[in-house]
């Protein structure tokens, strides 16, 4: 990929526009032309915001312009909420106004399967190309850039961070930001790009690779028109930044759904899997795994060792966690000499019984605090990573129960603060109904989860989900390490 000044400038105008016109702005709350204005106002977008609508004078306190060409200032970026049939005319106006980038929220094009709509989409693409205008979409949500106060949905976290995302689906783009943010992940730039008549996944990948604010890249792809180009871009990108990909349209039913969603050819999943593996992309098999991988790469350093020390959980939970960690590829090594010595010092003979994972209910019986043991484990070079299993059920109610888990959480946080050793936590996500929200147990868990996340410890909702994400992270960094060692 060759970066030109012109390319970089265009992409920056898309992701960081200095002014925005919303064409097809509306005062109807059910209209997207209203919602986009609302999003940008609520997010505090600071550049000029120009609603365009020939029938309105004012929306949300902003003066409305009858056409794009009547907007007084310079326009970097247009959000099109008008009908597909009006887009070609809009492009003419854009050219006249000097607009170089248009986001087509506008849909009902090739994804409808209608031959006329498909032809219209092609014509839109050709016209934009001729006029030198870059298109995002059609049929997509566009750009989320929290640092720039640019957003495509309501109530999204506006604190910026290092994760970029390229998401073919608009609904999923919002959902990925929303659900990852609940788990502490923060984003640099996200694009929802829909039918990709012009700018496609490859363009956005190259941009996020180039973008200094982005350290980790997530992708949700339904299909591509340029598999070879995507492969090349991925190979280049994964050498520098981890790229996590969820492929939609793996099954026959999924492929059909893809056609009516973004009019993409989903392609054979076997071919995709081989291509992604060869490009060293990190493959997620579902949305939760994509989020887990985002959490893992966001919170963890470049780990290359698989030896885990685990604490917490009763016996049954320790058994299940052992199984799931080992099945995913991690190693629960025997407790090393220095940890055995510590435990023997406190309770002679105990190490014939206690192993790794350390069953916290046994610890309680010998008066060893989880935080003390964690400290000892953190000091041992035998472990690459510590894991806290922080949600076991217990015999004891209320504060006694909370104190038990809090001790593990506190121990983990102390290690994280001093950066003694990478730490992860496993905490169940209870499937609550409204009537459970007041319950002390779930409120305590949610408080502890908040403490963990705030302290920079990634939290996963089952041992299997934790282990799968961590193991893929390690495999990625191991390959990077080997690749660097090659002559």
> Among residues 252, 312, 240, which one has the least CA distance to residue 279?
240
Residue with smaller CB distance to a second copy, 435 or 484: 435
**Closest to a second copy by CB, 86 or 353:** 353
* Identified binder of a second copy from the candidate list 5, 349, 367, 487, rule CB under 8 A: 349
Helices (H), 300-397: 315-328, 337-346, 360-365, 370-379
Site track 452-471 with a second copy (rule: CB under 8 A), x = hit: -x-----x-xxxx-------
Q: Interacting stretch for a second copy, rule CB under 8 A, among 96-104, 125-133, 284-292, 299-307?
A: 284-292
Q: Is 50 in the site for a second copy (CB under 8 A)?
A: no
Question: Of the listed pieces 95-103, 201-209, 210-218, 348-356, which binds a second copy according to CB under 8 A?
Answer: 348-356
Structure token pair of residue 209: 């690779």
Rounded Cα gap, residues 271 and 318, in angstroms: 38
Residue 450: strand, helix, or coil = helix
- Part in contact with a second copy (CB under 8 A); list of ranges 46-54, 127-135, 282-290, 410-418: 282-290
* Min dist. Cβ of residue 327 to a second copy (A): 6
Question: Whose CA is closest to 141, among 108, 178, 106, 170?
Answer: 170
Which residue number, 91 or 405, has a Cβ lying nearer to a second copy? 405
Adjacency order of strands within the sheet including 423-426: 308-312, 385-389, 423-426, 459-460
Contact 1, 233 (CB under 8 A): yes
Phi, psi at residue 55, to the nearest 5°? -100, 5
Nearer to a second copy, 93 or 174 (CB): 174
- Report 142-201 residues binding a second copy (CB under 8 A): 153-155, 167-172, 174-175, 178-179, 182-183
Q: How far is the CB of 210 from a second copy (least distance, A)?
A: 26
Subset of residues 234 to 273 that bind a second copy, contact rule: CB under 8 A: 246, 248-254, 256-258, 260-262
**Contact call for residue 318 and a second copy (CB under 8 A):** yes
Nearer to a second copy among residue 71 and residue 459 (C-beta): 459
Which CB sits closer to a second copy, 127 or 410? 410
Q: Is 85 in the site for a second copy (CB under 8 A)?
A: no
* Binding segment toward a second copy, per CB under 8 A, in 6-14, 27-35, 91-99, 468-476: 27-35
Based on CB atoms, which residue is closest to a second copy, 99 or 343? 343
Per CB under 8 A, which region of 6-14, 211-219, 286-294, 338-346 contacts a second copy? 286-294
Window 393-432: residues binding a second copy (CB under 8 A) = 393-397, 400, 428-432
Cα–Cα distance between 80 and 446 in angstroms, integer? Answer: 41
- Does 283 interact with a second copy (rule: CB under 8 A)? no
Compare residues 192 and 371 and give the one whose CB is closer to a second copy. Answer: 192
Rank residues 22 and 167 by Cβ distance to a second copy and give the closer one: 167
| Alpha helices for 134-251 (secondary structure H) | 170-182, 201-210, 227-240
The reply to whether 299 sits near a second copy by the rule CB under 8 A is: no
When binding is defined by CB under 8 A, the residue of 322, 371, 468, 471 that contacts a second copy is 322
Q: How far is the CB of 373 from a second copy (least distance, A)?
A: 16
Report the residue number, 94 or 370, with the smaller CB distance to a second copy. 370
Measured from the CB atom, the residue of 8 and 432 that comes closer to a second copy is 432
Does 138 sit behind a cis peptide bond, omega within 30 degrees of 0 on the bond before it? yes
Cβ atoms within 10 Å of 345's Cβ, excluding its own: 11
Q: What is the dihedral of CA 22, 26, 30, 32, to 10 degrees?
A: -10
Q: Can the peptide bond before residue 85 be classed as cis, meaning omega within 30 degrees of 0?
A: no
State the residue for tokens 């690779």. 209
**CB of 232 vs a second copy, minimal distance in Å:** 25
Residue 219 near a second copy by CB under 8 A:
no
Q: Report the C-alpha gap between 453 and 189 in whole angstroms.
A: 22
> Among 159, 166, 326, 149, which residue's Cα sits nearest to residue 234?
166
- Binding to a second copy, residues 87-116 (CB under 8 A): 111-114
Judged on CB neighbours under 10 Å (0-12, 13-18, 19+), 44 is exposed
Asked if 487 interacts with a second copy (CB under 8 A), we say no
Q: List binders of a second copy among 366-395 (CB under 8 A).
A: 392-395
| 8 Å CB contact between 311 and 389 | yes
Name the minimum Å distance from CB 309 to a second copy: 12
Element (H, E) at 134: strand 134-136
CA distances (Å), 137 to each of 68, 99, 286, in order? 19, 16, 24
CB of 434 to a second copy, least distance (A): 4
d(CA 208, CA 279) in angstroms, rounded, equals 17
Q: Which residue matches tokens 């470049």?
A: 302
Given 4, 5, 6, 29, the residue binding a second copy (CB under 8 A): 29
């Amino acid at each position: 990929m060759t970066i030109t000044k012109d390319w970089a400038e265009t992409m920056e105008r898309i992701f960081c526009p200095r002014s925005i016109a919303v064409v097809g702005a509306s005062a109807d709350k059910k209209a997207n032309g209203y919602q986009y204005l609302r999003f940008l106002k609520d997010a505090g977008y600071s550049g000029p915001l120009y609603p365009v609508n020939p029938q309105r004078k004012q929306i949300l306190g902003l003066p409305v312009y009858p056409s794009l060409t009547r907007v007084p200032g310079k326009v970097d970026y247009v959000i099109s909420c008008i009908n597909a049939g009006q887009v070609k005319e809009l492009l003419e106006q854009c050219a006249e106004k000097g607009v170089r980038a248009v986001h087509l929220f506008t849909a009902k094009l090739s994804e409808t399967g209608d031959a006329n709509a498909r032809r219209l989409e092609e014509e839109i693409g050709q016209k934009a190309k001729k006029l030198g205008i870059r298109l995002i979409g059609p049929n997509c949500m566009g750009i989320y850039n929290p640092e720039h106060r640019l957003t495509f949905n309501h109530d999204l976290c506006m604190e910026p961070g290092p994760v970029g995302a390229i998401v073919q689906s608009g609904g999923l783009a919002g959902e990925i930001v929303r659900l990852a943010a609940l788990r502490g992940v923060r984003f640099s730039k996200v694009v929802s790009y829909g039918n990709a008549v012009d700018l496609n996944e490859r363009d956005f990948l190259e941009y996020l690779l180039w973008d200094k604010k982005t350290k980790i890249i997530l992708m949700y792809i339904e299909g591509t028109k340029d598999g070879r180009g995507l492969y090349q871009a991925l190979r280049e990108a994964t050498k520098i930044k981890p790229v996590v990909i969820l492929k939609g349209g793996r099954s026959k039913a999924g492929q059909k759904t893809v056609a009516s969603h973004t009019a993409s050819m989903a392609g054979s999943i076997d071919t995709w899997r081989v291509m992604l593996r060869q490009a060293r992309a990190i493959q997620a098999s579902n949305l939760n795994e994509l989020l887990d991988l985002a959490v893992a790469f966001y919170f963890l350093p470049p780990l290359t060792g698989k030896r885990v020390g685990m604490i917490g959980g009763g016996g049954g939970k320790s058994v299940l966690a052992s199984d799931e960690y080992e099945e995913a590829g991690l190693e629960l090594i025997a407790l090393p000499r220095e940890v055995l010595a510590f435990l023997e010092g406190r309770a002679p003979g105990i190490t014939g019984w206690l192993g790794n994972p350390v069953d916290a209910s046994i610890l309680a019986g010998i008066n060893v605090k989880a935080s003390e043991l964690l400290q000892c484990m953190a000091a041992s070079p035998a472990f690459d990573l510590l894991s806290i299993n922080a949600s076991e059920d217990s015999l004891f109610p209320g504060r006694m129960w909370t104190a038990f888990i809090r001790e593990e959480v506190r121990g983990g946080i102390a290690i994280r603060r001093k950066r003694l050793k990478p730490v992860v936590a496993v905490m169940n996500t209870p499937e609550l109904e409204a009537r459970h929200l007041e319950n002390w147990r779930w409120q305590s868990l949610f408080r502890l989860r908040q403490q963990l996340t705030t302290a920079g410890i990634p939290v996963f909702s089952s041992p299997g989900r934790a282990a799968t994400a961590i193991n893929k992270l390690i495999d990625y960094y191991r390959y990077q390490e080997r690749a660097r060692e090659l002559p």
